[in-house]
Amino acid sequence: MHETENIVIEQIVGRGSPPEPTPVFILGAPRTGSTFLYQCLIAAYRLGYISNLTNDHFADAPILGWAIARGLPEPELAFESAFGKTRGALAPSEGSAIMQRWCGGGHPSELTSSGVLPDQRAHLRRTLAAAQLLQSTPILIKNAWNCFRVSALAELLPGACFIWIRRDIEACALSDLEARVLVQGSPDVWNSASPRNLDELRKLPVWEQVVENS
């Protein structure tokens, strides 16, 4: 653990065992409206969350990002995003860099990053416990890749809650196709998390791929 990070966590939780973290995970296929739900829950219940500042600059020591953000003026939450991405240092982030640090990455993600890395389990628990104490609320996390990590996260974090969001499959598939073009630069590039049968799905026409991904 980073020395400064360890000092900050000890100041928050003490030297003993931290309390049981109770994070809330938003789950759902890509383009289901999970970012909007994420923003609504933050605004309604003042839940803690991963900011762009924390994800972009403190992925190796997330509690430092939370601690810095705690000392900054609370921003007015804007209900806007572009394919899951928000603008502003303190705007809600998908936490991709942090989740990759804890769970790994790669495709198909259902096989390559379906759990928490063994050497990251203690860091994940301790970080979320410290962040929850710092924010005085549970931490809300929205990341589509966590759909394949439910069992691992529930086992490691027995106090966690999971919210599954769904959307009309046609609207979801059309939005996913649009994201492929505008974000990935090609309709042939898979967008977001990927199932174990990714190689087989890639043999299908793109319009069938986005339906399967929805």
Q: Which pLDDT score is estimated for 185?
A: 95
| 86-134 pLDDT, tens digit each | 999 999 999 999 999 999 999 999 999 999 999 999 999 999 999 999 9
Pick the closest to residue 138 from 26, 31, 58 (CA basis).
26
169: Cα separation from own chain's centroid: 22
73: Cα separation from own chain's centroid: 23
75 to 46, 69, 78: CA distances (angstroms) = 12, 10, 9
Q: How confident is the model at residue 3 (pLDDT cuts 50, 70, 90)?
A: confident
d(CA 103, CA 201): 24
| 50-86 pLDDT, tens digit each | 999 999 999 999 999 999 998 899 888 889 999 999 9
Strands of 48-49's sheet, edge to edge?
48-49, 139-142, 24-27, 161-164
Bridge partners of residue 85, in order along the sequence: 82
Tell me the pairing of strands 24-27 and 161-164. Answer: parallel
**Whole-number average pLDDT of the chain:** 94
Amino acid at 35: T
Buried residues in 143-165 as b, exposed as e (16+ CB within 10 A): bbbbbbbeebbeebbeebeeeee
